[in-house]
Structure 1
Amino acid sequence: MPGLDPFKLTEEVYKKVARFNKGFEERRYYRFRGGKWYGGIATGDVVGCNLRCKFCWSWRYSYYTDKGEFYNPLQVFEKVYGIAREKGYRYVRLSGGEPTISWRHLIELVKLIDETDKVFILETNGLLIGRNENYAKELANHANIVVRVSFKGVSPEEFEMLTGADRSFFQYQFKALENLLNAGLRPGEDFYPAVMLSFSDQAGYTRFKSQLAKIHPKLVDSIDEEYVILYPHVVELLKRNNLKPKVAYRPDGIPDFMI
């Protein structure tokens, strides 16, 4: 039986988490915060995603669409830039869900960040950028952006098992990298891959690297390796899905192989 279609899910989620108001595309957010990632970053956590990852740390907000409140791009800018300026952070980002679902909102926010000394890190599963090369071209117009394409596993089968999406959509993540490269972004600097490895074996990871190398060898050297962090609500979700990672970490950073 085929898995879910993330592009159809995008359309359904969009109806609930985005809207136009007074000429601006607004998006639902459930919080704004500072944090230690990337050496310090200001974050706006969005509601809604087009995947259903079974290890998602934000599943209580990414799975559901009735949480949070709507903000326009300027309001979000004021929130995240204010946090970054107060804390002395160089970076800002959107996280928690899939930012590319509300594309115009995202681009208007990136434009505002362009006028500052901050760098916007776009954390994305890449599916919509892989489907639409114009998205990559539009991102290439902005100097203060880094795109982090987060792969959900190292193979089509693993992608389907982890996300609930049909395995045929896995290739759109690679296509996102190709589109970003073709748009003129620099691999390893302006964009790079991340990959969830908690459920992978070494042979699969080796094949994954080979596929990256066919796009550009610098992508292999710039992989951000991700592993499950065993927050209590993540453990709850893993148990619901009868899923046990091969490698995971406790919130304090200590390896933990038992759930």
Structure 2
Amino acid sequence: MVGEACANYPRYKTREWVPYDVTEVTECTRRLVCRKEGGVELRKYTDFYVAGVYRGIVTGCLVGCNLRCFFCWSPLSRDFPERYGDFYTPVQVVKRLELLGRRYGVRKARLSCGEPTVCFDHLLQVLELIEESKWFNLFILETNGIVLALNPEYIHRLKKFSKLYVRISLKGGSREGFEFRTGAKGEALDLQFKAVEILKAANLRFHVAAMTDPRIMSLEERKKLVERLWRTNSRLALLLEEEVVDPYTTTIERLKHAGVELKW
């Protein structure tokens, strides 16, 4: 159940949408999908599988995110985290990931379908077990960076993991564009860029991705995004991974609710 403090928990973006405070939604999401038992943080997951991206990667499909991007492909567990998934300990998660990895000969792992940093202690414990694993040689942290920017010390706690690689995904080049796509108040975009700056300063291995599909981002906004990234580091801008909207069933539903029509 969603508590009284999170009674207005945002689900999916609609035409009458009121932008929300990303800090408040992050905390509400944490309450719904993270749980402490005996000093160990558990996280909700809906599935474990091998995905074809990154030339094959074992994936833990976790529950819960602090953004409501209308182009998102994630399951409905993103919008209704209290209804979906089961809680797993970090040990249970890595055991399942490694079982799949060995079965299919895949040595890369990730947590996807939501924002992994929401339950940060859980993420750290997963990373520690991945680090100890004799099977996995790479863990890709897919993140929007907001929790990392709100808690800069988190990034420094990630530095010890030799198998870690970060993929940070930007959702806009302007506050207005960010707010339009994610449903969160536009100033949260600054947190995304702050996370990029901190990752760079900490010398972590990472690259930047961005949803720059011209159907939902103007050329002018894309230019602003690239220029802002260039000011942080020219190499990051040159190696920018540009994303496009794919017609997943959940994506099409979210686009419809948001009143956004795309040509496929």
8 Å CA contact retained: 1:148, 1:193: yes
The letter of the residue matching 1:196 is M
* Match among 190, 196, 210 for residue 195 of structure 1: 210
For structure 1, the 5+ residue unaligned runs are 246-256
Counterpart of 1:203 in 2: which secondary structure?
Answer: helix
Write out aligned runs for 1:10-25 (5 A): 10-25=26-41
Classify 1:180/1:152 alpha carbon distance in 2 versus 1 (closer, same or farther; 3 Å): same
2:76 corresponds, among 51, 60, 68, to: 60
Deviation at 1:221, TM superposition (A): 2.2
Contact 1:123 1:147 in 2 (8 A): yes
- CA–CA distance in 2 between the matches of 1:29 and 1:232? 20
Contact 2:131 2:163 in 1 (8 A): yes
- Partner residue in 1 for 2:223: 206
Identity %: 37
- Does residue 160 of structure 2 align to residue 144 of structure 1? no
Q: Could you tell me which amino acid in structure 1 is paired with residue 227 of structure 2?
A: S
Q: Does the CA contact (< 8 Å) of 2:48 and 2:61 recur in 1?
A: yes
Which amino acid is the alignment partner of residue 114 of structure 1?
A: E
CA distance in 1, matches of 2:86, 2:225: 38
How far is the alpha carbon of 1:131 from its aligned partner?
1.6
Match in the other structure for 1:91:
108
Q: Which of 237, 242, 254 is the aligned partner of 2:259?
A: 242
Q: Structure 2 unaligned segments of length 5 or more: list them.
A: 1-16
Q: Match for residue 182 of structure 1?
A: 201
The residue number in structure 1 matching 2:236 is 219
Partner secondary structure for residue 167 of structure 1? coil
Instruction: Report the Cα distance in structure 2 between the residues aligned to 1:106 and 1:138, rounded to whole angstroms.
Output: 11
Structure 2 partner of 1:112: 129
- AA partner of residue 134 (structure 1): E
What is the alpha-carbon distance in structure 2 between the residues aligned to residue 207 and residue 237 of structure 1?
26
Secondary structure of the equivalent of 2:200? helix
Provide the C-alpha distance between the structure 1 equivalents of 2:249 and 2:129, rounded to a whole number of angstroms.
Answer: 36
* Structure 1 counterpart of 2:74, one-letter code: S
CA distance in 2, matches of 1:170, 1:160: 8
Aligned residues of 2:172 and 2:189 also touching (Cα < 8 A): no
Instruction: State the distance in 2 between where 1:222 and 1:56 align.
Output: 23
CA RMSD of aligned residues (A): 1.4
TM-score (ref. length: structure 2): 0.88
- 2:66 is aligned with 1:50: yes
Deviation digits for residues 41-69 of structure 1 (CA, Å, limit 9, x no counterpart)? 00001111111111211150111122110
Q: Distance in 2 between matches of 1:219 and 1:150?
A: 12
CA–CA distance in 2 between the matches of 1:213 and 1:57?
Answer: 28
Structure 1 residues 57-99: Cα deviation after superposition (integer angstroms, max 9, x where no partner): 1150111122110000010001112212221223100011111
TM-score normalized with structure 1 length: 0.90
Verify the 8 A CA contact 1:9 1:50 in the aligned structure 2.
yes
